Amino acid sequence: MTAFKGRLRLGVNIDHVATVRNARGSAYPDPLRAAKLAEQAGADGITAHLREDRRHIADADIAALRKNLSVPLNFEMAATEEMQRIAMTHLPHAVCLVPEKREERTTEGGLDVARDDNRLGQFIAPLREAGCRVSMFIAADRAQVEASARIGASVVELHTGAYCDLHYEGKLKERDAELARLRDMAALADSLGLEVHAGHGLTYETVQPIAAFPEVMELNIGHFLIGEAIFVGLEAAIARMRTEMDAARA
Ligand code: PXP
């Protein structure tokens, strides 16, 4: 029997509800409404990324989510002074630091904690002291895991984007090699006392091998679920994802 660390939580990322809203500059669809529905459907947390260019989630969304959710809010942000001020204002349950480039379509690659460890260590200190669970969004790379432990992060979120891309490109040997790296880095992070999360690009088809890692405690999934909601509704999409995750742990 595999010794799982605990029940695998599902964090639902509602950024792309805001993407649809912002496409027309309207007041709908409302990310808070999606978050409440996700909560009812069994999401263990809500994730939202306030990007520097505000292309989806807006400042007012973060305030509304913080005020109205009963599950934890995982606030994704770049390590900038502006975002730190916003995080310190709202004090979300969790802060996940992500790299951010204006020209990217989505978060490409992980944070380079190893190269920026001094600055990031100082950056996360006030957030930790304020009681936020601080997480580093990193690639499956030993130096990044070790640096995250060294600077005092509580969590690493392993970037599953490369694994998912390789799966859908049909590069199965490379996909399996990336999966092995993710598995090894989940074990390393756990051995260093870090809580292990994972996310990016996950779908019904790709979630199970990641959910089966015994150290993984939380998956954060957004784009696929919001897309699937167009066809089956958000509650059904979340319920099916939950079933896939549970099957992987059975
Ligand atoms: N985790 C992190 C840190 C992310 O930046 C994102 C995307 O915003 C996700 C998880 C969710 O990725 P996806 O929307 O591809 O499921």
Indicate which CATH number applies to the domain containing 137.
3.20.20.70
**Any idea which residues carry the catalytic annotation?**
49, 76, 200
- Res 40: pLDDT: 97
What is the pLDDT confidence band of residue 225, given thresholds at 50, 70 and 90? very high
Share of the chain above pLDDT 90, in %: 93
| Structural domain harbouring 66 | 9-249
Alpha carbon of residue 186 to chain centroid: 15
Counting from 1 in the atom list of ligand 1, the atom nearest the Cα of 202 is 16
Give the number of the atom of ligand 1 that is nearest the alpha carbon of residue 96: 3
Q: According to the model, what pLDDT value does residue 108 have?
A: 78
Q: What's the pLDDT at 165?
A: 98
Cα of 101 from ligand 1 centre, angstroms: 15
Band of residue 109 on the pLDDT scale cut at 50, 70, 90: confident
Within a domain: residue 188?
yes
Alpha helical stretches, state H, 6-154? 15-24, 31-40, 59-68, 81-90, 117-129, 142-150
Q: Which residues line ligand 1 (CB under 6 A)?
A: 13, 15, 49, 76, 96, 98, 106-107, 137, 157, 199-202, 220-224
pLDDT band at 191 (very low <50, low <70, confident <90, very high): very high
Centre of ligand 1 to C-alpha 201, Å, is 7
Q: Return the ligand 1 atom nearest residue 226 CA.
A: 14
Between residues 197 and 6, the one the model is more confident about: 197
Q: What is the pLDDT of residues 40-56, one digit of tens each?
A: 999 999 999 999 999 99
Domain count for the chain? 1
User: How confident is the model over 170-184, as pLDDT tens digits?
Assistant: 999 999 999 999 999
pLDDT for residue 160 is more than 90: yes
Instruction: Look at residue 4 and tell me if it is in a domain.
Output: no
Ligand 1 centroid to Cα of residue 47, in Å, is: 8
In a domain, 1, yes or no: no
For the residues 57-76, what does the mean pLDDT come to? 98
Name the residue of 16, 20, 47 whose CB sits within 8 Å of the most ligand 1 atoms, as the mutation to test its pocket: 47
Residue 72 within a domain: yes
Q: Whose CA is nearest to atom 5 of ligand 1?
A: 107
Contacts of 110 (CB under 8 A, 6+ apart): 99, 136, 137, 138, 139, 141, 144, 159
Mean predicted confidence (pLDDT) in 222-236: 98
Is residue 241 domain-resident?
Answer: yes
Residue 106 has pLDDT above 80, yes or no: no
Q: pTM of the prediction?
A: 0.97
Look at residue 101 in the predicted model and tell me its pLDDT. 79
The CA 224 to ligand 1 mean position distance, Å, reads 10
Q: Tokens 């006030």 identify what position? A: 126
Hey, whose CA ends up nearest to atom 9 of ligand 1?
A: 200
Average pLDDT (207-222) is 98
The whole-chain average pLDDT of the chain stands at: 96
Q: Is the pLDDT of residue 2 over 80?
A: no
Residue 245 lies in a domain: yes
**Residue 3 domain flag:** no
Q: Which amino acid is at 50?
A: L
Q: Angle between the 234-249 and 204-211 helix axes, to the nearest 10 degrees? A: 40
Please name the residue whose Cα sits nearest to atom 12 of ligand 1.
Answer: 200
Atom of ligand 1 nearest to the CA of 13: 11
Does position 1 have pLDDT exceeding 80, yes or no?
A: no
pLDDT band with cut points at 50, 70 and 90 for residue 86: very high
Which residues does 93 contact at the CB level (< 8 Å), separation at least 6? 45, 72, 73, 74, 132, 133
**Residue 2 alpha carbon to ligand 1 centre in Å:** 27
List the one residue out of 44, 54, 107 whose CA is nearest residue 62. Answer: 54
Site to substitute for ligand 1 among 101, 136, 207, 223, most atoms within 8 A of C-beta: 223
For residue 18, being part of any structural domain is answered with: yes
